[in-house]
Amino acid sequence: MDLLNTLVDKGLRRELPSREEALAVLATSDDDLLDVVAAAGKVRRKWFGRRVKLNYLVNLKSGLCPEDCSYCSQRLGSKAEILKYTWLKPEDASKAAAAGVAGGAKRVCLVASGRGPTDRDIDRVSKTIEAIKEQNEDVEVCACLGLLSNGQAERLRAAGADAYNHNLNTSEATYGGITTTHTYADRVDTVQQAQAAGMSACSGLIAGMGETDEDLVDVVFSLRALDPDSVPVNFLIPFEGTPLAKEWNLTPQRALRILAMVRFVCPDVEVRLAGGREVHLRSMQPLALHLVNSIFLGDYLTSEGQEGKADLDMIADAGFEVEGAGETTLPAHRADAVAAAGCGGGSCGPCGDDSPTVAASEAVAGQDARTDLVAVRRRGAGTDLPPNA
């Protein structure tokens, strides 16, 4: 297929494809799906070989968020029956992080619900970062705390944070239909603050919220322009009790095409398969490893993932290998730029009125909503049960 040959050539040169080419990837047929995966896989292997980076989420503060992000189970007014707790103590967060590191994770992502941190919150998180690095000197730490105020990014960097995550989530044109309590521009500003402070920027998207192909291409092109080191791709988990509970718009094939498009647009960036992979990719998850070079190990913020051992078995069975602590994630030209800026080098997950005004596409013909695969997290951080790592 001429399209795929062109996209591979551009990906190997780190050249941006055209919007029309990116849209064409999303429009390919299921008959061409394996060809699409194989083509994007060539680009993935060029820059990342067969390595898979493992990341581990620690939810420092769960629920009770004042923001109205329609996709989020922690949002204002959410009726989702998730765990709710205030800030974990640094020693408890460090213990949770250690479980992920023991399972093979080289990056720990510290996430807290809320619009953004207060200065006191920055103090809390700084102590947590110090506690984690005291136990695991080589582990990368990424913070995901919401919108940053002036000076906060610099304080996090000084405390040892290697990266900061703040996702754009969807296109600028449709953002107001998903969230009204802050703006798309607010999110862009926070990512840029993190970059200016010398942290490795992580910013991605959520697919499956009723967006169009044009919306998906718009947000991925915006991410390319923002130039984060890592791009997490989340697939909406339609939690009961949230405005998007009825949005079941994805098939495994659609999810793979989205991942391939992201890889073609962001060829040399850490593309992370994030929340919702078990729900929407299901038995097709191993194919996604040919497109992404990074995944989360175990559970997410408020939902449970597949068992950590199953993640490791999947990686091995698919012929890939877990990236070691001493290996550099990014290709040399990006890693050198990151090192010059004085930051880590790698990414994190997603973080909350009425139903969104985004025009939701019709449910995929013949696909039943797999509500049985949406499992609320009941173990790990904030509970007395051991974590899934």
Q: Which residue has the tokens 């060809």?
A: 35
Encoding tokens for residue 130?
């110090």
Q: How far apart are CA 82 and CA 93, in angstroms?
A: 19
Select from 3.10.580.10, 3.20.20.70, 1.20.950.20, 3.40.50.880 the CATH code of 2-373. 3.20.20.70
Q: Please give the C-alpha separations between residue 257 and each of 152, 306, 336, in angstroms, as whole numbers.
A: 37, 22, 31
Q: How far apart are CA 305 and CA 298, in angstroms?
A: 5
What is the structure's pLDDT at 360?
A: 33
Question: pLDDT tens per residue, the chain (389 residues)?
Answer: 799 999 999 999 999 999 999 999 999 999 999 999 999 999 999 999 999 999 999 999 887 888 888 888 877 777 777 778 889 999 999 999 999 999 999 999 999 988 999 999 999 999 999 999 999 889 999 999 999 999 999 999 999 999 999 999 999 999 999 999 999 999 999 999 999 999 999 999 999 999 999 999 999 999 999 999 999 999 999 988 888 989 999 999 999 999 999 999 999 999 999 999 999 999 999 999 999 999 999 888 877 889 899 999 999 999 999 999 889 999 999 988 777 665 444 333 333 333 333 333 334 444 567 777 777 787 777 787 788 77
Is 144 among the residues known to form the active site?
A: no
Is 351 among the residues known to form the active site?
A: no
Residue of 107, 142, 263, 351 marked catalytic: 142
In sequence order, which residues have a C-beta less than 8 Å from that of residue 185 and are 6 or more positions away?
none
Residue of 72, 343, 348, 351 marked catalytic: 72
Residue of 44, 75, 107, 109 marked catalytic: 109
Is 379 among the residues known to form the active site?
A: no
Q: How far apart are CA 378 and CA 82, in angstroms?
A: 8
What is the structure's pLDDT at 343?
A: 46
Closest CA to 214 of 186, 245, 173: 173
Residue of 44, 69, 254, 266 marked catalytic: 69
Q: How far is CA 342 from the centre of its chain?
A: 23
The residue type found at 269 is V
What is the structure's pLDDT at 367?
A: 53
Q: How far apart are CA 273 and CA 235, in angstroms?
A: 9
Residue of 144, 157, 202, 257 marked catalytic: 202
Is 263 among the residues known to form the active site?
A: no
Q: Please give the C-alpha separations between residue 5 and each of 10, 262, 271, in angstroms, as whole numbers.
A: 9, 16, 21
Is 142 among the residues known to form the active site?
A: yes
Residue of 44, 254, 272, 334 marked catalytic: 272
